[in-house]
Each structure stands twice: as C-alpha cells, then as structure tokens.
Chains A and B, each alone.
Chain A
Amino acid sequence: MAFPVIKGTAYALIYTPSLLVHMGTTQTVERMSNPNSEYLKQVPNHLRSYEECVNYAPNQVFIGNQRPDLLRTMPMPWWQHPMTNASRDGKYGEIMPEDEFIGMIKIVDSFDLVLLEESFHAEISTKLALHPLMNEGDLKRLGKPTPAAEVAKQINEFHAEPLMLGDRVAGCVKRAHESDVSLTAHIMTENLVAKASGTLAFKNLIAKTGLDVRDVDYILECSEEACGDMNQRGGGNFAKSIGEMVGAVNATGADMRGFCAGPAHTMVAAAALVQAGVYKNVVVVAGGATAKLGMNGRDHVKKDMPLLEDTLGAFAFHIGENDGVNPVIRTDIVGRHVIGSGSAPQAVMQALVLDPLVRAGLTIPEIEMYAAELQNPDVTVPAGAGDVPLANYKMIAALAVMKKMLERNDVATFGDKHGMPGFAPTQGHIPSGVPFLGHARDMMLEGNLKNAMIIGKGSLFLARLTNLFDGVSFVIEANNGKVDSNKGIDKAEVRGMIAEAMREFANSLSK
C-alpha cells in the first residue's frame, strides 16, 4: 500500500498571562461567584514573565529546540531550572509574546470586531513589522487605531471584551451581534484566539518546511472551539478561515471535533484522504483554547508556584503522498475505542493499543515509542492529577504483562524505554500524542526511531450527551524508501491469476 507521509510539522506557543486572568474559566467562574476572592488577588503575584516562559524547558521541547529526553536529565520541578540557551525561535515554530499576539488577533479579524488602542497600535505595528512571518498584507490588516475613549466606551457600554496587557487596555473585541448568544464578545474572543493561534502555527509550517501553500488542497482543523451563530452554534469553519489568512487559495477545508482525541481522529482522516487520492496535500491545524488557561491555578497558588498554564498551544501538520523519505502513517494499524468497547481503563487501552497491534501481528514492546496524553507533569502533579504520561506507560505495560508480552518486573521501566516525559501545555487537544510527531519525524529521518504509536483520548461525557469515552490511535513508521504505485494490479497479473484459478478448477474436476 502507498501509505501517506508526514511531510512537515510546526508548533507554536503563545505566552498569554492576561488572557489567563480574563478568559480562563477557573478565573472567570471565580470572578462571577466570588469577585473578592483571595485566589483572584493572588493570581497576579504568581504570573511568569515572558522570558521565564521562553526559558522553561518543556516549552523549548515543544517548539523543537530540545528532544523530550532532555527533561529526564532535569530535576523537577522544571520551572525552578530555567534553561540558559533557550530561544524564542524553535526548529518547529516559536513562542510569541502576548502583545504581538493581540496584534495577530486584529490581523485575523475579518469583521472589524477588534479595536486596538492608539498607542498600542503604534507600538505593535512597529514590532510586528520586524516579525519574519508577517507580510505586507498582515500589517495592512492591523487597520486604523482607535482612541482610548472609544475602546473604553465599547467595553463599558456595549459589552466588548477587553484585550489587556497586564493593567493596560490594549484594545477590545466587540460583540458580533446584539442578542445572539453564540456571537458574544467573549465567544468571539475565544474564536479569534483559536483562529489567530492556528494561523501562527500554519505560518510556521510554511516557513519552517518550505511548503508551497498553493499546493495545499484541504485543511482539517481540530481545536476544541465552536464557531457559528445561534442558528448553528458549531457551524464552522475555522479551517477555511485560517487557510484564508495564510494564502491557501487552492484549499477548502472543514473542522473535526472529538475533545482531546480530536487531533488523532483528524490525522487518520487526513491520511485516508491522501491515501485514497482524494487530495494530494492536507494540512491538519489547531489553535489554542483560552478557557483552559490557568485551569489548575488554584492548586498552583496554594503550592506557591507560578501559574504554568499561561501559554496557548497550536500546531500544524502537512500530510502528503508517499515520497519514499518521510515517515509513513500506517493506516492499516489504527486503534479505535468503539461504542461497545466499555469505559474501564483496561478496555480503553485494549481497544487503542493492543487490538490494532494484534491485528497487524505485532506485540506491545515492538512499538519503540508511545505518545499518549503528553500533559506536562510540572503542571498536573502539584494539582493532584498525577503524572499523566507516566500513568499511560504503566497502563500499556500492565496490559502487555497481562497478555504475556512483557515481564511484570519491567512495568516500572517501560516508560523509560518506550515513552517520554510530558512536555505539552494542558490545552486539552494539544497534548494528545501529536506533540511528538515533530520529534518522531526527525528521529525517523535520522535513523534513530523505527516506529511510534500516537494515542488520542477524549472525555465525551463532558458535553453531557453521552457517558461514552473515546480514543483513536495510529502508528507511524520510518519510510523504507519503497513507493508502491498503488494503481492496482496490471493486466498481465490479472491474466496470470485467472489462468491459475482455471488450472485449479480443472484439477478439481479431474479428481
């Protein structure tokens, strides 16, 4: 089979402490129920600086300047051990500061909903002009500045969502309709942030991999937001709106959702579309979620540590036809948690890990690396949620023991050999296995990795429509260099097969 390949990957992080304060649900819910709470007073004292965010080792891993293995060599908590050789720019993308990102929210605004205050507008226009990925069209979209008084009026009288930089009002996002609850200023801000961060990842994909954006046929977007109006609340479509921003003029697209399993579902769909020949080049893209900023903030304040969930995550992947070089997506080894699978952890792991491998004649230890939920344990352990990747490795190992594929003594060390420490921001869909794709691709191209399984898991019950759990997995593999034509079997082969069948038939008659 001519399996599709991963031609390129890009990742972006955006440092957004002010969005954390004003848009993160932990903070907004607290502000509604208890506006004078001690927690809200403490939050500003626990915010990191942009430099601290850049120097944070897991972030350097996320944008590709370090391999995940680096984190094994560093004592935890990692936030206490800043890197000295860190950079904003990474092999796969970048870490953008909040002021530039507010500029980007304006750049991707197609309906004049975003107003930038005069002095901020002047500053950011100068700053973004120096950004290597911002072109003339982008800068033009920064539009005209708005007097501070008008911004204040929109916020105070017309329910606009302020865009803050610390205590400074940098601008605002207006509501898109007077009475439509799907187009409030808050929801428009969430959606514009998802669009802007997805655009940033896509821009990095083009810049870092040399992709000619005019070659992109289709875009699949897999974030966790919903855009639409009151008549179709999740109508869409982020994919095409992002594609428009990066000049993907020959592409259309659609959004796919599945909570944290969304990206894995989307990668399988993208691979299938390419393998079937429907499209030659598909880009899978996702922006970040403001709601999850500072999600575990209460525990972090309690433990007197910084609010590490101050970064939005975003990614973009290019899936294309087999070129004999890039790692292939083994569309014949896909795991899925089906409706009848059951929701016990054992049933989930069996459906996602064991079943697809057994179908392909493989054992669990034959997969060199597993990437499941790559949540950063620096964030989750102090919040009492444990080390999520480590728990996954233990579960995979325990399943292997039960199936007699692994010795019981090897359960504790399975993760050291077949896994990696978590390094992704806790943005739901962002950590779901795919942050490893960039590293895996490079390791395979370098000849240092044979295969890997990417696992996405999703908690569907959060939408209160079903109690079901969900998950999808797929295997990627180093390219063996052989590219099958995939054009089916030729006429001579068919003639040979018919002749052989007739011979067998004749023999059966003569017996």
Chain B
Amino acid sequence: MDLENQARIKKFAEELGAENLVVILGGAEAEAAGLAAETVSAGDPTFAGPLAGVSLGLAVYHVVEDEIKSECDAAVYEEQIGMMEMVLDVDAIKAEVSSIRKQYSKF
C-alpha cells in the first residue's frame, strides 16, 4: 500500500478511533489485496511506510466480499461492480482478505 494512503488511514484511525473505521479495498489481485489488508490490520509488512510496526487492527474487507455486497443497493452494485465481479478472481480475493481479517482485525 502506498505511503500516502498509509498516512491517511493512520490519521483517520487517530481522529475517529480505530473501532469506528472500516477499510474497504478494491485491489484487483488477491495477493495485493491481502498485503493491503495486512497493512491496515497487522502493520506494513514491507516496513516502508507510516504503518510499519503499527498494528491498527482495523476491520478490513474487499468490496467483492458478501459482507459489503449485502450492504449495497443491488442496482448500484451491479452498475459499479458487476463487470469487475466477472473479471476478478473473486474466490481467491475473498479467501485471502478474510483470512488476514480473521488473524489481525480487532474490531
């Protein structure tokens, strides 16, 4: 996850409280989405950014996960995400992000 985004998420967590924050990812690759999920929960695994060694434990989901999809208006979801659902390896992304969430998310 780029350093700018790490800084923004860290700032939000400080301002709003980590328990009040949910991170929704949109990355196209399971591996990259998993890394982003790990960054905002366990800390930056590359030790390059502001979240290096900072375990925010944030709740983190990918937008294709059922927990998020069920919260959305079906028509809007179809219009915005429907095409990408066909394109992405949704099962791999779900498995990767939910596994990271189960390990590191505290909320």
0 or 1 for each of A340-353: is its CB under 8 Å from B? (1 = yes)? 00001111010000
Interface residues in A, total, Cβ within 8 A: 18
Residues of A within 8 A of B79 (CB): 344, 346
B82 adjacent to A346 (CB under 8 Å): yes
Q: Select one of A345, A347, A349, A384 contacting B35, CB under 8 A.
A: A384
Determine the distance from Cα of A398 to Cα of B31 in the docked complex, in whole angstroms: 22
Give B contacts to A, CB under 8 Å. 28-29, 31-32, 35, 79-84, 86-87
Determine the distance from Cα of A346 to Cα of B31 in the docked complex, in whole angstroms: 22
B17, chain A: closest CB distance, angstroms: 26
Residue on A with the closest CB to B86?
A398
Q: Residue A478 at the B interface, CB < 8 A?
A: no
Residues of B within 8 A of A346 (CB): 79-84
Determine the distance from Cα of A407 to Cα of B81 in the docked complex, in whole angstroms: 19
Give A contacts to B, CB under 8 Å. 344-347, 349, 384-386, 391, 394-395, 397-399, 401-402, 408, 411
5 cross-chain pairs, A with B, having the tightest CB-CB distances, nearest first: A398-B86, A346-B83, A394-B87, A398-B83, A344-B80
B95, chain A: closest CB distance, angstroms: 17
B interface secondary structure, majority? helix
B86 adjacent to A411 (CB under 8 Å): yes
B28 adjacent to A402 (CB under 8 Å): no
A interface secondary structure, majority? helix
Residue on B with the closest CB to A392?
B87
Q: Select one of A347, A384, A401 contacting B31, CB under 8 A.
A: A384
A401 adjacent to B29 (CB under 8 Å): no
B26, chain A: closest CB distance, angstroms: 9
Q: Select one of A349, A384, A385, A408 contacting B83, CB under 8 A.
A: A349
| Sample of 12 further A-B pairs with CB below 8 A, known A344-B79, A346-B83 | A344-B80, A347-B80, A385-B32, A391-B28, A391-B87, A394-B87, A397-B86, A398-B83, A402-B83, A408-B86, A411-B86, A411-B87
Determine the distance from Cα of A133 to Cα of B89 in the docked complex, in whole angstroms: 48
B80 adjacent to A385 (CB under 8 Å): no
Residues of A within 8 A of B83 (CB): 345-346, 349, 395, 398-399, 402
A486, chain B: closest CB distance, angstroms: 39
Residues of B within 8 A of A411 (CB): 86-87
Determine the distance from Cα of A399 to Cα of B86 in the docked complex, in whole angstroms: 9
A402 adjacent to B29 (CB under 8 Å): no
Determine the distance from Cα of A384 to Cα of B87 in the docked complex, in whole angstroms: 17
A401 adjacent to B28 (CB under 8 Å): no
Q: Select one of B28, B29, B35, B87 contacting A398, CB under 8 A.
A: B87
Determine the distance from Cα of A344 to Cα of B86 in the docked complex, in whole angstroms: 14
Determine the distance from Cα of A398 to Cα of B78 in the docked complex, in whole angstroms: 12
- 15 A-B residue pairs with Cβ-Cβ distance under 8 Å, sorted by A, are A346-B79, A346-B81, A346-B82, A346-B84, A347-B80, A349-B83, A384-B31, A385-B29, A386-B28, A394-B86, A394-B87, A395-B87, A398-B83, A398-B86, A408-B86
Residues of B within 8 A of A399 (CB): 83
Residue on A with the closest CB to B79?
A346
Residues of A within 8 A of B29 (CB): 384-386
B51, chain A: closest CB distance, angstroms: 16
Residues of B within 8 A of A386 (CB): 28-29
Residues of B within 8 A of A347 (CB): 80
Q: Select one of A349, A384, A397, A398 contacting B32, CB under 8 A.
A: A384
Residues of B within 8 A of A391 (CB): 28, 87
Residue on B with the closest CB to A390?
B87
Residue with the greatest number of chain A CB neighbours at <10 A, chosen from B35, B80, B82, B83: B83
A218, chain B: closest CB distance, angstroms: 39
Residues of A within 8 A of B35 (CB): 384
A168, chain B: closest CB distance, angstroms: 32
Residues of B within 8 A of A384 (CB): 29, 31-32, 35
B34, chain A: closest CB distance, angstroms: 10
A402 adjacent to B87 (CB under 8 Å): no
A402 adjacent to B84 (CB under 8 Å): no
Residue on A with the closest CB to B85?
A398
Residues of B within 8 A of A402 (CB): 82-83, 86
Determine the distance from Cα of A385 to Cα of B30 in the docked complex, in whole angstroms: 10
Residues of A within 8 A of B80 (CB): 344, 346-347
Residues of A within 8 A of B84 (CB): 344-346, 395, 398
Q: A344-B80, A344-B81 are in contact. Are A401 and B32 (CB under 8 A)?
A: no
A457, chain B: closest CB distance, angstroms: 14
Determine the distance from Cα of A347 to Cα of B79 in the docked complex, in whole angstroms: 8
Residues of B within 8 A of A394 (CB): 86-87
Determine the distance from Cα of A402 to Cα of B85 in the docked complex, in whole angstroms: 12
B76, chain A: closest CB distance, angstroms: 10
Residues of A within 8 A of B81 (CB): 344, 346
Residues of B within 8 A of A344 (CB): 79-81, 84
Residue with the greatest number of chain A CB neighbours at <10 A, chosen from B31, B84, B86, B87: B87
Residues of A within 8 A of B82 (CB): 346, 402
Determine the distance from Cα of A397 to Cα of B59 in the docked complex, in whole angstroms: 33
Determine the distance from Cα of A402 to Cα of B79 in the docked complex, in whole angstroms: 10
Residue with the greatest number of chain A CB neighbours at <10 A, chosen from B31, B35, B81, B84: B84
A487, chain B: closest CB distance, angstroms: 44
B48, chain A: closest CB distance, angstroms: 9
Residue on B with the closest CB to A386?
B29
Determine the distance from Cα of A395 to Cα of B107 in the docked complex, in whole angstroms: 34
A380, chain B: closest CB distance, angstroms: 10
Residue on B with the closest CB to A387?
B29
Determine the distance from Cα of A401 to Cα of B83 in the docked complex, in whole angstroms: 9
Determine the distance from Cα of A427 to Cα of B29 in the docked complex, in whole angstroms: 21
